[in-house]
Structure 1
Amino acid sequence: MAGGKKAKNMAKAAKGKAKETTGKAVGNESLEMKGKAEQVAAQAKQTGEKAKDTLRH
């Protein structure tokens, strides 16, 4: 089950990166910030999953 959550977090980070890049390309600062925020949230969740894995093993 943890593998699915990790994949979901990675997908969310990639989606955030795409938003950030698109925002930079078109000069939309709001979209760029939303993308960065999504990446940070995904990375935080990913860190939590890694911590859980460490404690399990």
Structure 2
Amino acid sequence: MNNPGSGSTGKDQPRNNYPPLRLSLKSLLQKIAELTGVGVYYGGDDTPKQR
């Protein structure tokens, strides 16, 4: 998700390098949650529908 208004061409996006890492962590947590059956609680943050 690049904001054209911020004029980021990819080089000026040091912060955007972190989301991917967090996403992988979140996916891992989600998988564990699904296995443990607590996905509903974890998903509540990302998807309020699951709550």
Query: Please, what TM-score do these two structures have when normalized by structure 2?
Result: 0.51
Higher RCO (CA-CA < 8 Å; seq separation 6+): 1
Q: CA RMSD in A?
A: 1.9
Rg larger in 1 or in 2?
Answer: 2
- Deviation of 1:16 after TM superposition, in Å, equals 1.0
SS at match of 2:15: helix
Give unmatched runs, 5+ long, in structure 1: 38-57
Aligned runs of 1:1-57 on 2, under 5 Å? 1-2=12-13, 4-28=14-38, 29-31=40-42, 33-34=43-44, 37=46
Q: Residues of 2 paired with 1:34 and 1:5: CA distance? A: 25
- Deviation of 1:21 after TM superposition, in Å, equals 0.4
Would you say how many aligned residue pairs link Structure 1 and Structure 2? 34
- Deviation of 1:12 after TM superposition, in Å, equals 1.0
Query: Please, what TM-score do these two structures have when normalized by structure 1?
Result: 0.47
Give unmatched runs, 5+ long, in structure 2: 1-11, 47-51
